[in-house]
A and B are shown apart, each in its own frame.
Chain A
């Protein structure tokens, strides 16, 4: 049957889209858990990272394999700088004040990118056509989609290993749970917080570098993925990393199901419907355990 026959294809496209949302959601959760800030600049920091990669490839003629790590290093610097220069300056900040600060960072980054690179969409030159791919079991999988899923999965895996197996990851989890006591352990929490921002910017930047070739590089490129990433983070409970990853996959799949079987026009409504549903049914999110943060 034509109707159900399309299901695997729709699911696959949904997971490919969801992989990007998951990365953005993870980035937001890392920052939220460590510094209790909702970083609304996450998407545009990723956009800027993508532009930097583009500028290095097109402008300076660097090969992709050199431009990507350099762009991600730039992302780390941008994240650390945002924390150091803007958030740390806030004295006894309120939640609202911190959100306004991240909105301010977002506007600066957006304004800078528009001024520096102009508003017109550009193509990210990669040695792959978006139409190349493989077909398995009737599902068309482009190389770009496959790479997106693989890169996201690797990033998520590396993140979990880092947090659960490394000393720095332990320091980060300790800081997230009880900042004052972490300091008693000799953990330099300010550095941990700065590092969390850098790490999140890299994870978000990877999402940007995956979105760029699939669409076009332009100042608005991350707005929709960012909204959906935020929805995914809320879906997962805002404090849970597995929840964020799962939330991303769910949003990606649901919006594609909706787009295929109902209407593409309402595709972007899906994440907001998901947030609303989540907040009314289970505000703590899908995977959040009972989590009490001591300050």
Chain B
């Protein structure tokens, strides 16, 4: 079986700065895959590289979606192939209404979208109440819901999310992750990048840890959650004293 999304030895640069260093990864259709990593590890860069949002990048390596290369393709064509991307910071169309945002999400479709609209309002009843309100007036949490719903309107096969928990209350984060589970149950493969390791590991089937532009750990969510380094640096569980202790302490501080 070919992977839904496969990256091999991907290098991405911002001018002279290298942000991805031979990142390789294969995601099969079906589950929820989470990427953990400190600030600046390259998580956002990874998603942007897949979407073709960075000019002339990746510099090296291959990216295949559903068995076909998407390197060098236009972002809009990559989206049309079935990848939806919820960017960091939601990025709703502020001057459009909630309903218009959802319709924009379905732009590439020619068939009837009424059933999907109903499904979105089922996931997020609050959007239904605010359907004719301009999206800029929504709260941060509502905007996150709208961004997810808008992405789903294209009926993607892969949904990629960049830090959906950012800036949301713990309760709302739980609500949104529960809905991600439901969405996954409805057949959408989910690839998400998160700083909130506890939440991400609780919902994911598989998790990877990214450091300095490459993946350093890969396993089931349970395995990753049990890893001593992950426990210490991402979950804040104190590990035993070791020679590396001081270095770890410094890294931990950087990772907050």
Contact = CB atoms under 8 A, between A and B. Distances in A.
Interface of A: 167, 170-171, 173-174, 177-178, 180-189, 289, 291-292, 294
Q: Is the interface of B mostly helix, strand, loop or mixed?
A: mixed
**Closest 10 pairs (CB-CB, A-B):** A186-B108, A183-B75, A186-B79, A186-B80, A183-B76, A174-B104, A181-B91, A177-B93, A185-B107, A188-B76
Nearest to A291: B95
Contact of A186 (B76, B91, B93, B96): B76
Contact of A185 (B53, B74, B95, B108): B108
Contacts of A181: 87, 91, 93
A126 to B, nearest CB: 41
Contacts of B75: 180, 183-184
Interface in B124-155: 150-151, 154
A169 B25 CA distance: 39
A177 B94 CA distance: 8
B-side interface size class? 20 to 34
Contact of B107 (A180, A186, A292): A186
Interface of B: 51, 53, 74-76, 79-80, 84-85, 87, 91, 93-96, 100, 103-105, 107-108, 150-151, 154
Given A180-B53, A181-B87, A187 B104 contact: yes
Given A183-B76, A184-B85, A187-B104, 12 more contacts: A174-B96, A174-B104, A177-B96, A178-B91, A180-B91, A182-B104, A183-B74, A183-B75, A184-B51, A184-B79, A185-B105, A187-B76
Contacts of A167: 103, 107
A291 B136 CA distance: 11
A98 B154 CA distance: 34
B107 A184 contact: no
Contacts of B105: 185
5 contacts: A170-B103, A173-B93, A177-B94, A184-B75, A186-B80
